[in-house]
Structure 1
Amino acid sequence: MGIKSFQGSRRQQQNAVEETPLKVSDYMTTDLITFRPDQSVEEVVESLIKNRISGGPVVNEKNELVGIISEGDCLKQLSESRYYNMPMEKDNVEKRMIRNVETIDGNMNVFDAANKFLQSRRRRFPIVENGKLIGQISQKDILIAAMKLKGQNWK
């Protein structure tokens, strides 16, 4: 009769941890509210308020990411239109969106993603695959992932 090693049971625990989904793609939102470059800023503002979101990706007709527009971009437009006494209807998303959009890899570990959020001070990152927008991860999604993992990994 042999003595059972502690090492065997540790290995089993490590395997359980490795099976836990840790990728950004496991926690990203795929049902996105997106905007078009030719859409009016006024429509964007209405959508942001209605859907209680702070911004969203801008895609072309092929669902390729071309920019991102936020509440701040819309506020800037509102402020300038009032200051210069220009009607809001003439401004569209393409003129106000941020074109150089930083994305995140869907295969990235959620803890690395959390670090990327801290370094960039962004609220959300789009996820692109083969040039097409497939999802978006927010700071809140990362917090949700951490809370789900807490019970399994952290004691």
Structure 2
Amino acid sequence: MGIKSFQGARKQQAHAVDETLLKVSDYMSTDLITFTPDQTIESVMQSLIHNKISGGPVVNEHNELVGIISEGDCIKQISESRYYNMPMQDNTIENHMVKNVETIDGNMNIFDAANKFLQAKRRRFPIVENGKLVGQISQKDILKAAMQLKGQNWK
């Protein structure tokens, strides 16, 4: 005796979402607060607090991505400066930023980007085109995209 399903046929929704059209570049932030390697830890901390952000990309004079600085990097520096009893006023971020930065492709769809966030355990990914920083996608941007799609049929 076979198992019967009591679930009827599902109606296909006319407004199904084409995942390939939901690109990271459509949801990324392009008006970025960036930092330079020669900035002091203190100035970065002030900027993070003032702008209510948790970190940001570090670029050189050609707008090429050279690193990422985060609250965690700054906190580590605070801890080390206290431990070694060294002032941090003149300490630049060049030696404290993450230099091996993982980026994300602006053409990636937001669902694949969401998976990349889960796997990499990062809060943000920069987007680079032709060697230049063009934007940044954050976990919050992915959430915003999901809320805009709410109620639509996700394949």
TM-score w.r.t. length of structure 2 = 0.87
Give the equivalent residue in structure 1 for 2:69. Answer: 69
Which fold has the larger relative contact order, with Cα–Cα distance below 8 Å and residues 6 or more apart in sequence?
A: 2
Task: Specify which structure has the higher proportion of helix.
Answer: 1
Compute the displacement of 1:59 (Å).
0.1
Quick one: structure 1 residues 152 and 20, their matched pair in 2 at CA, closer, same or farther if it must change by over 3 Å? Answer: farther
Give the equivalent residue in structure 2 for 1:93. Answer: 93
The aligned amino acid for 2:141 is D
Give the equivalent residue in structure 2 for 1:54. Answer: 54
Is contact 2:48-2:55 (8 Å) kept?
yes
Compute the displacement of 1:95 (Å).
1.0
Separation in 2, partners of 1:153, 1:21: 14
RMSD: 1.9
Q: Deviations over 1:9-54 (max 9, x none)?
A: x6x936x633994000000000000000000000000000000100
SS of corresponding position for 1:128: strand
Q: Deviations over 1:41-93 (max 9, x none)?
A: 00000000000100000000000000000000000111111111111123101
Give the equivalent residue in structure 1 for 2:110. Answer: 110
Aligned length: 144
Are residue 146 (structure 1) and residue 146 (structure 2) matched? Answer: yes
Structure 1 stretches of 5 or more lacking a match?
1-9
Q: Which of structure 1's runs of 4+ aligned residues deviate more than 4 A?
A: none
